[in-house]
Amino acid sequence: MTHESTAVGLASAYSNATTASGDWWRDAVIYQVYVRSFADSDGDGIGDLRGVRSRLPHLARLGVDAVWLTPFYVSPQADGGYDVADYRAVDPLFGDLADADELVRAAHALGLRVIVDVVPNHTSEQHPWFRAALAGEPGARERYLFRRGRGAEGELPPNDWESIFGGPAWTRVADGEWYLHLFAPEQPDLDWTHPEVMAEFDSVLRFWLDLGVDGFRIDVAHGMVKADGLPDIGRGAQATLIGSEPLPFFDQDGVHAIHRAWRRLLDSYEGPRRRIGVAEAWAPTSERLALYVRPDELHQAFNFRFLTCPWDPEGMRTVIDESLAATTAVGAPTTWVLSNHDVVRHVTRYGGGPRGLARARAAALLMLALPGSAYLYQGEELGLPEVTDLPATARQDPAFRRGRRQPIPTPRPEPDPQPAPGTRPAAETGSVPEAAPQTAPQAPETTGPEARTHTRPAAETRPVPEAAPQTAPQAPETTGPEAGGGVRPEAGSGDGPEAESGGGGDPGLPTAPEAEGQDGLRDGCRVPIPWAGAEPPYGFGPAGSWLPQPDGWAGLSVAAQTGDPHSTLELYRAALELRRALPGLGAPEAGGPADPRGMRWQSAPEGVLLFTRPGFACTLNTRPDPVELPAPGRPVLSSAPVETDGRTVRLPADSCTWWTP
Q: Catalytic residues, which ones?
A: 219, 280
613 strand-pairing partners:
616
Containing 105, the helix (H) or strand (E) segment is: helix 97-109
Q: Count CA within 13 A, CB hemisphere, residue 203.
A: 9
Candidates 340, 407, 428, 409; CA nearest to 379 is 340
If you write DSSP's letter for every residue of 127-191 in order, what string do you get? Answer: SHHHHHHHTT-TTGGGGBTEEPPBSTTS-B-SS--B-TTSSBSEEE-TTS-EEE-SS-TTSPBB-
655 strand-pairing partners:
621
Instruction: Name the region of 154 (left: φ>0; alpha: ψ -120 to 50; beta: rest).
Output: left
The answer to whether 520 touches 402, Cβ cutoff 8 Å, is yes
**CB-neighbour burial class of residue 625 (10 A; exposed 0-12, middle 13-18, buried 19+):** exposed
3-state secondary structure 543-612: CCCCCCCCCCCHHHCHHHHCCCCCCHHHHHHHHHHHHHHCCCCCCCCCCCCCCHHHCEECCCCCCEEEEE
3-state secondary structure 127-144: CHHHHHHHCCCCCHHHHE
Torsion sign across C-alpha atoms 360, 365, 369, 373: positive
Query: What gap in Å lies between CA 487 and CA 344, rounded to an integer?
Result: 8
Candidates 368, 471, 514; CA nearest to 63 is 368
Strand order of the β-sheet with 642-644 is 2-3, 642-644, 648-651, 627-630
Query: What gap in Å lies between CA 578 and CA 573, rounded to an integer?
Result: 9
For 202, phi then psi, to 5°, come to: -60, -45
The answer to whether 169 touches 182, Cβ cutoff 8 Å, is yes
Candidates 533, 534, 469, 542; CA nearest to 50 is 542
Sequence-ordered list of residues with C-beta below 8 angstroms from that of 249, at least 6 positions apart, any chain: 161, 169, 182, 223, 226, 227, 230
Helix (H, G, I), strand (E, B) or coil at 435: coil
For 36, phi then psi, to 5°, come to: -70, -10
DSSP state of 627: E
The answer to whether 166 touches 516, Cβ cutoff 8 Å, is yes
Compute and round to an integer the Cα radius of gyration of the chain: 25
Q: How far is CA 181 from CA 134, 169, 172, 250, in A?
A: 15, 5, 11, 13
